C-alpha cells in the first residue's frame, strides 16, 4: 500500500513566553498508508491532539517534516490542498456547526471550495445518505441528539471529499448510543469508502476495529501494533495510565480463576466461543 502521510523526526513545542516552552512531541516518526485505520491512544497531555493538528497543517512542526500525499506542510502554498486531502472532526460538534439546517451545514464546506451549485447539491445528498442522516436534512442542528450532531460534523467533512479523516476524540461528549452511531459511521467510511482514518480516543473498546494502534506517552510513541498485540500487554498499558477493553479485563479475571482463555480476547463473541470450547 502507498503511504498518504509521512512524519519524519517531528518535534513540536508550545511557546507560552520567552522562557516558557512546553514540549508536546519529541522526535516522532510515523507512516500512514492509504485506506488504513489507525487509532492513537494515550492519557491527557501525551501529545495526541497536537499530532492530529500537525497532520492537516493546523500546526507546523518546529523540527522535522510532515508530508501529506507528497506535499510538505511547511510550504504555505500546500496548505489548501493538504486540508482538502485531510479532513478534521473535533470533539465538540457544536464547534463545527454553522448553518440553520442540516443540509445547509453540510453544504458550507463545498461552497467555500468554490464548487458549482449543482455539484454541491449532489455532494450534500450523497454525504447525508452515506452518513445515514438524509432524513434529517431539513432539521435545525440544535434539534439533533449528540450522536446526530457528530454525524452531521462528519458529513460536512465528507462532502469535501477528503481522502483521509482525522477524528480527535469525537465520542468524548456522547452517551453510549451516540458513541455506537459514530463508530459505525467511521467504520463504514473506512471499510466501504476506503477513506484513511486516524482516530484519537480514550475509549479502549473503540480501538478494537482499527488496523493498527499507536500508543503515546510524553510526546513519543511507546507502543505500536495490532489491537490484539497491544491489548495483550496489559501491565505495560496500566503503567502508562491506560486501561484495556472490558472484555479483555474479564477474560484476564477468568484466567486467574483457572479458566483457559486466550490472552488476546477483545470481543464478547470471542469470549463466549472460548468459554464454550473450554468446557
DSSP states along 191-259 = HTT--EEEEE-S-GGGGGG-SEEEEEETTEEEEEE-HHHHHT-HHHHHHTT----HHHHHHHHHHHTT-
Please report the pLDDT score of residue 155 as a whole number: 94
Please report the pLDDT score of residue 15 as a whole number: 85
Model confidence pLDDT, tens digit, residues 8-56 = 999 999 987 667 789 999 999 999 999 999 999 998 889 999 999 999 9
Mean pLDDT on 125-152 = 94
Does the structure show a pLDDT above 60 at 279?
Answer: no
Does the structure show a pLDDT above 90 at 99?
Answer: yes
pTM to 2 decimal places: 0.87
Please report the pLDDT score of residue 193 as a whole number: 92
Residue 25 three-state SS: strand
Please enumerate in sequence order all residues whose Cβ is within 8 A of that of 54, keeping only pairs 6 or more positions apart, or say none.
7, 10, 12, 25, 60, 61, 66, 73
- For residue 73, what pLDDT band results from cuts at 50, 70 and 90? very high
In the chain, where are the structural domains located?
3-244, 245-279
- For residue 270, what pLDDT band results from cuts at 50, 70 and 90? low
- Report the percentage of the chain scoring pLDDT > 70: 90
CATH number of 3-244: 3.40.50.300
Amino acid at each position: 500500500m502507498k503511504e498518504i502521510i509521512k512524519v519524519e523526526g517531528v518535534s513540536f513545542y508550545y511557546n507560552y513566553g520567552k522562557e516558557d516552552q512546553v514540549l508536546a512531541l519529541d522526535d516522532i516518526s510515523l507512516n500512514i498508508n492509504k485506506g488504513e485505520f489507525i487509532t492513537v491512544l494515550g492519557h491527557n497531555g501525551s501529545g495526541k491532539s497536537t499530532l492530529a493538528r500537525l497532520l492537516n497543517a493546523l500546526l507546523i512542526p518546529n523540527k522535522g517534516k510532515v508530508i501529506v500525499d507528497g506535499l510538505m506542510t511547511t510550504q504555505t502554498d500546500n496548505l489548501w490542498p493538504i486540508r482538502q486531502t485531510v479532513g478534521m472532526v473535533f470533539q465538540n460538534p457544536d464547534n463545527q456547526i454553522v448553518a440553520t439546517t442540516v443540509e445547509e451545514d453540510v453544504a458550507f464546506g463545498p461552497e467555500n471550495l468554490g464548487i458549482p451549485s449543482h455539484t454541491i447539491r449532489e455532494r450534500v445528498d450523497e454525504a447525508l445518505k452515506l452518513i445515514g442522516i438524509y432524513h434529517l436534512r431539513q432539521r435545525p442542528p440544535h434539534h439533533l441528539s449528540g450522536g446526530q450532531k457528530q454525524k452531521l460534523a462528519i458529513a460536512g467533512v465528507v462532502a469535501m471529499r477528503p481522502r483521509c479523516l482525522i477524528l480527535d476524540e469525537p465520542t468524548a461528549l456522547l452517551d453510549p448510543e451516540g458513541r455506537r452511531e459514530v463508530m459505525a459511521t467511521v467504520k463504514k467510511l473506512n471499510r466501504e469508502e476506503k477513506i484513511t482514518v486516524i482516530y484519537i480516543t480514550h475509549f479502549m473498546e473503540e480501538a478494537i476495529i482499527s488496523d493498527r494502534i499507536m500508543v503515546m506517552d510524553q510526546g513519543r510513541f511507546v507502543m505500536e501494533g495490532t489491537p490484539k498485540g497491544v491489548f495483550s500487554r496489559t501491565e505495560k498499558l496500566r503503567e502508562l495510565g491506560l486501561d484495556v477493553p472490558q472484555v479483555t479485563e474479564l477474560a484476564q479475571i477468568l484466567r486467574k480463576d483457572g479458566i483457559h482463555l486466550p490472552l488476546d480476547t477483545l470481543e464478547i463473541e470471542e469470549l463466549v466461543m472460548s468459554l464454550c470450547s473450554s468446557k
